[in-house]
Amino acid sequence: MPFRYNCRHRELAKGIWVKEPIIPITLAGKNGEKLDFTAILDSGSDFVLIPKEIADALGVDYANGLEIKSKTFDGLDFITRLATVNMEIKKGRERIPIQCRAAICTNGPDYHHIILGSSFFEKFEITFDYPRNKFVIKRR
Amino acid sequence: MNAEKSFDFFLKADFKGYDEDEWLAICRSKVVAHGADLRAVIAESKKLCGVERPLFTRVSKIAHYLHA
């Protein structure tokens, strides 16, 4: 069953609005604890990117993960460590549990949302309809 | 369902009364805890939300260019 979402509208300055493809996701921690966060879809990112604060709160084991050099779109270098994270998306009674490779941002930019990058996109068929403020996520 | 109500509230709210980078915990249609320390916000919201799971987000008022 496809999961249908509306874009979030955010006013950056008076009269300047942007649309954001944000969804709620549930992340599962090492001890089984589940926490719900907002996450933004970004097909240009290579992995799911999780801020260190969130990974630490969940007890995600990333200390021994493969270190990956990373760079933001505006050229800022930072380091991530890879980990496997259990997460799920849900809508109504439908739930899709998935396991994703995630990069934990250890010394990098302070992202506001979890970024759902390529390692999330490869599990779904995602269709954007920005003129109608909608996007649809469907399991492959 | 709490999770969907919290997310609907997130979609419509502007959070102008909160500081940039603050963590927010949303339970149904209100912000129940906020602050700079995520762990503290999680702990506080758990006390206030009871069995329901809050939705955590972060205040952002600037433009973003992602591709991390």
Neighbouring residues of A84: CB distance < 8 A, sequence distance ≥ 6: A99, A100, A101, A102
DSSP state string for A13-80: ETTEEEEE-EEEEEEE-TTS-EEEEEEEE-TTSSSEEEEHHHHHHHT---TTSPEEEEE-TT--EEEE
Calculate mean pLDDT across residues A120-133.
95
- Give the closest-approach CA distance of B30 to chain A in angstroms: 15
Q: pLDDT tens across A13-71, in order?
A: 888 888 999 999 999 988 888 999 999 999 888 889 999 899 999 999 998 999 888 77
**Is residue A11 within 8 Å of A19, Cβ to Cβ?**
no
CB contact under 8 A, B65 and A72: yes
**What is chain A's mean pLDDT, rounded?**
89
Rounded to two decimals, what is the model's pTM? 0.91
Q: How many CB atoms lie within 10 A of CB B7?
A: 22
The mean-pLDDT minimum among A51-60, A129-138, B3-12, B13-22 falls in: B13-22
Q: Which pLDDT belongs to residue B66? A: 54
Residue A67 at interface with chain B, using a CB cutoff of 8 Å: no
Q: Which token pair is B54?
A: 């809050």
C-alpha–C-alpha distance, residues B66 and B58, integer Å? 16
What ranges do the domains of chain A cover? 3-139
**What is chain B's mean pLDDT, rounded?**
86
Q: Which token pair is A100?
A: 């994703």
Give the chain B residue whose CA is nearest to the CA of A72.
Answer: B68
The complex scores an ipTM of 0.90
Phi, psi (degrees; rounded to nearest 5) at B38: -60, -45
Residue B47 clears pLDDT 70, i.e. is over it: yes
Phi, psi (degrees; rounded to nearest 5) at A66: -60, 130
Q: Which pLDDT belongs to residue B67? A: 46
Residue A109 at interface with chain B, using a CB cutoff of 8 Å: yes
> pLDDT tier at A116 (50, 70, 90 boundaries)?
very high
CATH topology of domain A3-139: Cathepsin D, subunit A; domain 1 (2.40.70)
Calculate mean pLDDT across residues B24-50.
93
CB nearest B58 (choices: A73, A91, A113): A113
Q: Which pLDDT belongs to residue B68? A: 42
